[in-house]
Structure 1
Amino acid sequence: MQSTAISFCPSISISTKLQNPDLSSLYRFNPIPPKRLLCKNGSVLGRAVNPVSCSLRQNGWVSGPPPEPESEGLVVRATSVPESAGAGETPKLKGIGDTLVLGTLFGLWYLFNIYFNIYNKQVLKVYPYPVTVTLVQFAVGTVLVIFMWTSNLYKRPKISGTQLAAILPLAVVHTLGNLFTNMSLGKVAVSFTHTIKAMEPFFSVVLSAMFLGEFPTIWVISSLVPIVGGVALASMTEASFNWAGFWSAMASNLSNQSRNVLSKKFMVKKEESLDNITLFSIITIMSLILLTPAAIFMEGIKFTPAFIETAGLNVKQIYTRSLIAALCFHAYQQVSYMILQRVSPVTHSVGNCVKRVVVIVTSVLFFRIPVTAINAFGTGIALAGVFLYSRVKSIKPKAKTA
């Protein structure tokens, strides 16, 4: 899951807002002395001059940098934080109010994640159909997205066929990443799944080197050593270990980091950009469409009350916990993007590392998972490596001077 994630700051173009402007509104929006309003030929704009004859994209109309030119292509961003996005600048908080809002968002991010993992694990423990469970989560997310768009809580985007084709690869790997995570949660303890998922930086470095030609520094490589070593140590001493759960979590890592590589390799083009929440919403709907036939083919229709009663399960309990898990899944993703709009990718990455620690500790306490000293030490080493990785990625190489 990520955070993966898919910088995710909303991109806003003002070029469409300056078409056919009213001159009086222009003065209100960007007051400029009349002597600064020049036509293309350099003459001063007077009362008798037709504003249409002047270019809206010249410094005579708008002081400062001109609006971004319209061009072809598409800019989309992955739905988890790119591992290489560590060089972004941290937005400055304006006061104690912003600090309190940010602290609240971090608290909600962690709380929603904790509840998602607990309720999701409770369902998967007695209802061993991870494809159907994942489908329900995407279905609930789709309902929430449609509600936000129809109620104008969030602006409904206008998406072209070209944009959907460009987003499709991201939707595929996003679907696989969440499916493999649920498959792992159904087989092993929550704490062990998240320990394995701490290996995401390793996959990010390997895939970036293979497909993007981005080779890591010696410091990045050094930070991967405790991650790999810690996961290996924790795996050898894990009481709930089995190969199906282990490889499912590994496949989730591969899927999530492939999403980042795909976004960099194929999606970075120039046209209308999509902000993170809009992109995540579209991918959620596409994931539902992609997974529905796969769920029916692989597991059949096994979420009806009749089937659940036949399996000897409590229908109300399964439905309630599945709904809460799905709501928390969508909520923590949305809050994650809201946080990223306020902090740098490095700060977000560090917060994600802390979130993983909180989830592991709370799941161990809630499910009363037996943990040996060596297992705890391995998990700690792996998480410390993730924290170190998030810090060294923010180090900018010094520019070579002649």
Structure 2
Amino acid sequence: MSALFSPIRFRDLALENRIMVSPMCQYSAEDGVANDWHSIHINTLSLSGAALICIEATHVEPVGRITPGCLGLYNDRCEEALAEIVKSVRRKSSGAVALQLAHAGRKASSARPWDGGRLLSEADGGWSTVGPSPIPHKEGEATPAELNQAGLARIRSAFVDAAKRSGRIGIDALELHAAHGYLLHQFLSPIANQRADEYGGSIENRMRFPLEVFDAVRSAFPRERPIGVRVSATDWIEGGWDIDQTIRFARELKERGADWIDVSSGGVSPQQKIVANPGYQVPFARRVKQEVGIPTIAVGLITEARQAQSIIVDGHADMVAIGRAMLYDPRWGWHAAADLGATVNAPRQYWRSQPAHLRELFGCTQFGSR
């Protein structure tokens, strides 16, 4: 059996293989509400052969959206739209559906990437942002408002509400977004968090709010369904958040019942210096897995089937998350299975598509016709 296509289990969630479709922002929602684009996008990737598809960063309040086009789960319209998409996936795919809960903090109110990604003023359709400290993401940008106790309580409650909505619409698993310079990562990093109260200073204090959010979400989501956390293992900046602090954070999450750590990096400052190459973040996932003893998901320039297979075989991570490569090749899982001599689930409507020399790819050997 191919290691990449071996089963894995998180709580009551049994997955057929070790491939996850990474959560990828589409910047295409309307007032936070999913639409036809999301239906096409999610349904297409649900037929990719990946055992788990993770819906893009889904924001817990309107001011927490990265852009005006970002997805939300903070009112009934948001919930109803996502519920219909999840129902559609269930009718066509055997894959499980996860959802990434997020708040952008000081990186909110930005233009869509294809519009330049700059911070938007209120006159341009933006809004005032919040963060752990009154420090802008980029020099010259508007300063975010420092969150007070009432603001922290409001955001914790928003995460809880979104978790409950996720449970109601049948989401199989949640992932908290504590990476890429967004709010929970901002609290962790001394680059963004320079508070003088119990939420700033020491690593114990900087972890406090993200851990409070995790605890609150874990209590609100059905216990039999897993919750993971995406982290940035390093800020790629001297004096910032780093892998040693990530390991401490992961240990705390494990004690609280986290089911996996999805290990990415960067995003808290434009001053970061990243040297990206294939699998450049995999060593971070390996350290977390080995030193904490928690399942990890490896991400970042993983594009080839045998590259992904070696990550699992060599014990660097328990799953791989495929992002841009999956957009380029929405049947990435099929092609990986063909390359590795494995079997993958595909809808019956597509069974006749398998090449003659790959008659076992879909687990079916014949397709009758008249």
Indicate the TM-score class for this superposition, using the shorter chain for normalisation: under 0.3
Q: Tell me the TM-score normalized by structure 1.
A: 0.21
> Larger Cα Rg: Structure 1 or Structure 2?
1
Whose relative contact order is higher, 1 or 2, with alpha carbons under 8 Å and at least 6 apart? 1
Tell me the TM-score normalised to structure 2 length: 0.22
Higher helix share: 1
Compare the two structures and name the one with the higher strand fraction.
2
